[in-house]
Amino acid sequence: MSLSEQDSSCQFERLLEVARTAGGIEILEASVDPSQPAMKACLDKARAEGLRSGLQGLREYRAGQPRAKCIVSPFERRTVEQAHSIAKETMQRGCRIGKNEYFPLNAPIDWAADRIRDRGRRFHLNAWIFLEAHIEAYCDCGAEDLASFARQIALDWIEQCIYEGKDNEFAWYDMAVGERAFVLAVLLDEALRNPEVSDDDVIRLLAASRVHAAYLHEKERIKWHSNHGIFQLAGLMALSSTIPELQDSQQQRQFAEDGLVELYTSHFTQEGIHKEHSPHYHVFLTNLLGLMMQTGWLRRPEALASLFKKATSNVIWMVHPDGTMVRVGDTDLEKADDILLQRDEPVRYALSGGREGEMPQSAFAVFPGSGCASFRSPWDNVPYEEASFLFFSAAFHSRMHKHADDFTFEWSELGRVLVCDSGRGSYNYHTSEREYAVSTRAHNTVEIDNQDYSRRIADAFGSALKAWGESEHAFSVEAEQYRKRGFRTHHNRILVFMPGEWLAVIDRLCSPLDHVFTQWFHFDPELHLRRGGLKFRAVIPRTGKVLLVTPLLTADGIRAVCVRGQQQPCLQGWTSLEPNTLTPNYAVGYSLTGKEATFVTVFRICGPTSRVLAGKSAVPRSEGTCKIRWFVDGREEGFDYGAEDGERRLKAIP
């Protein structure tokens, strides 16, 4: 039986009521474990001599225990000096999330923050993520002034949201409770060691810790389907491991560890790829696992050691040569070196631009069970940042952070991304910006009838990868899916990639119904496209090269559109480089109407005066060999791709 199916005692509401109505001794009795001799002695003293005496015994006991270990933010990589600087700035100016304005932290703090429209900022506020720098600085070098500031902020939240019962959207939001638990564990440990902290404040921190642990121990509150469940259980692990004096701590620690093993093994594929369709969240959850393994909290670290190793190593296949993360799913424009905490030797090589670590052995990686693949030029490309890179996604495992982006890709050459994805956009759901960012038309795939692909979990197909290979320094990858809901359309996509030179995209679609099929491509905001009929041309800045976009099958009725920053009748030609912001970029769409459609589009990197002309190409409706040809300044190029002896074969020409 999985943990998500087991019963757990419902103590949260009862303990919340105890915290709000009971006196100090009653809270102490409801918080510490009387089965532990030292805690029984504390309780006996409290009953016989008063709360102060009981708490003094608890303080003395804690002074003899190891100091709390800190899990620093898994969101970013920073030095102790940077943590100090961030903490000091927060003390002086307030809480700041991203590039937004500072939020005042003068008591009483407006924890509901209704004036802030951004859900992400209200979550960060109530999750106390802005206090993690203070905790990190305290744990690293005993910065008591920073711990004191964090304690006062926490006590303000406890006063309002526990004792006064004030509620807001994120006060008891699942992941926020887990995040707060990391901070609470350290603050309670610090308060018990600090004679300057009043007994009343200790009791409040004790009550809050016990309430949070009880909340996180109720299986019905754990979000077993998403990464939020992992953060909830990790927070429970922090509290139960750091303050084992709490009641039920041993059962809670076991529950947390068993749950973490269950969630990590089910939320990552056997290949070590996170199933939430986002390179950012892959790194995020890999960081958290590494941090928990470093603390020693996991009694059975070997249960997750292999997964952690794979997940860490796989990061190199989600990073462009310029160091930025692939922006598939809910991923912002960010440097992998800024956010990945742990790294093996090949990862060090990839993130240092080849200056450190050991060079990876392969120039491509395909994850057939996960539904993604990456291809690149050799790792010793000089200069490293100008290497070629292609990432292809054909996965649908869950709704979490999933966009309607089946078969999308990102491509970079010459030190920059040429064809880009939409990025995260926003977590302010039901806004036009968020709806656009997750829409099919915002990605490099085929849109049908101006509608989005299904993101319903009932339509999840896992991986749609069908075949892949290499030949003559070229790579191929193929995916296939029957889109039943709303479309009744069979879709086959083939990418053929010659690093440093060209990329060809073949889409074959067929349906018993008439549809409008549109093959969309989105270009980096610095690329400015110029149109010539059905062809497009863009100068690649600072390279002396141009990108030529050419459709090779110009069937009757094919139409082309090119838009940038379009507002009406719908958003199109935008990409999200940072949260809650859309940046205009060029989007090209090729459309055909009918029951069948075949698109072949080639992207060629050339000199500034070069021309690409379509050659004689043939694409069978289903099985058979695709023969794709074009001419660059009179020289024939192309490839043959198809089934041979039961296998897919690729032959690049010349």
Q: Quick one: 348 and 442 in the same domain?
A: yes
What CATH number should be reported for the domain holding residue 131?
Answer: 1.50.10.100
Region of 259 on the Ramachandran plot (φ > 0 left; ψ -120 to 50 alpha; else beta): alpha
Query: Is residue 258 domain-shared with residue 328, that is, in the same domain?
Result: no
Do 471 and 593 have their domain in common? yes
Whether residue 20 contacts residue 163, with contact meaning beta carbons closer than 8 Å, is answered with: yes
Question: Which band of pLDDT confidence, cut at 50, 70 and 90, is reported for residue 228?
Answer: very high
Q: Is residue 130 part of a domain?
A: yes
- Residue 627 is assigned to a structural domain of this protein: no
Q: Which range of residues forms the domain containing residue 50? A: 3-267
345 and 249 housed in the same domain:
no
Q: What percent of the chain has pLDDT over 90?
A: 86
CATH code at 383? 2.70.98.70
Q: Which residues of 407-442 are buried (b: 16+ CB within 10 A; e: fewer)?
A: bbbbbbbbbbbbbbbbbbbbbeeeeeebbbbbbbbb
Q: Which are the contacts of 79, defined by CB distance < 8 A and separation ≥ 6?
A: none
Tracing tokens 């409008």 back to the chain, one arrives at 516
Helices (runs of H) and strands (runs of E) counted in the chain: 17, 23
Q: Are 211 and 354 contained in the same domain?
A: no
Average pLDDT over residues 323-344: 94
- 3-state DSSP helix/strand/coil % of the chain, to nearest 5: 35, 25, 35
Same domain, 205 and 342: no
Confidence of residue 98 (pLDDT cuts 50, 70, 90): confident
203 and 352 in a common domain = no
Last residue of a domain, one of 570, 592, 609: 609
Same domain, 251 and 330: no
Domain-located, residue 292: no
Together in a domain, 143 and 23: yes
Specify whether 466 is located in the same domain as 534. yes
Label residue 3 by pLDDT band (50, 70, 90).
Answer: very low
Mean pLDDT, rounded, of the chain: 93
The answer to whether the beta carbons of residues 367 and 315 sit under 8 Å apart is no
Q: State which of 609, 630, 647 marks the end of a domain.
A: 609
- pLDDT bucket at 579, cuts 50 / 70 / 90: confident
Q: Facing residues of 628 across strands? A: 639
First-to-final CA distance of the chain: 58
| Alpha carbon distance 121, 96 (integer Å) | 9
Residue type, 459: D
Choosing from 609, 632, 649, the residue where a domain stops is: 609
653 in a domain, yes or no?
no
Q: Which pTM does this prediction carry? A: 0.94
Judgement on whether residues 252 and 370 belong to the same structural domain of the protein: no
Residue 304 inside a domain? The answer is: no
Asked whether the predicted pLDDT for residue 147 surpasses 60, the reply is: yes
Residue at 34 is within a domain: yes
253 is a domain residue = yes
The structure tokens listed for 510 are 């067929």
Q: Does residue 559 or residue 143 have the better pLDDT?
A: 559
Tens of pLDDT, residue by residue over 466-478, are 999 998 789 999 9
Choice among 8-12, 212-216, 508-512 with the minimum mean pLDDT: 8-12
| Model pLDDT for residues 340-362, shown as the tens digit of each residue | 999 999 999 999 999 999 999 99
- Is 275 among the domain residues? no
Q: What is the DSSP letter of 6?
A: S
How many domains does the chain fold into?
2
**pLDDT at 46 exceeding the cut of 90:** yes
pLDDT band at 9 (very low <50, low <70, confident <90, very high): low
List of E strands, 484-524: 489-498, 502-522
Residues 530-541: what's their mean pLDDT?
Answer: 96
Please provide the DSSP assignment of 566-628 as one string.
Answer: B-SSS-BSEEEEETTEEEE-EEEEEEEEEEEEEEEEEEEEE-TT--EEE---B--SSSS-EEE
Which 3 state secondary structure label does DSSP give 70? coil
555 falls in which pLDDT band (50, 70, 90)? confident
CB 340, CB 351: distance < 8 Å: yes
Burial of 1 (0-12, 13-18, 19+ CB in 10 A): exposed
- Return the number of other C-beta atoms located less than 10 Å from residue 565's C-beta: 15
pLDDT at residue 90 tops 50? yes
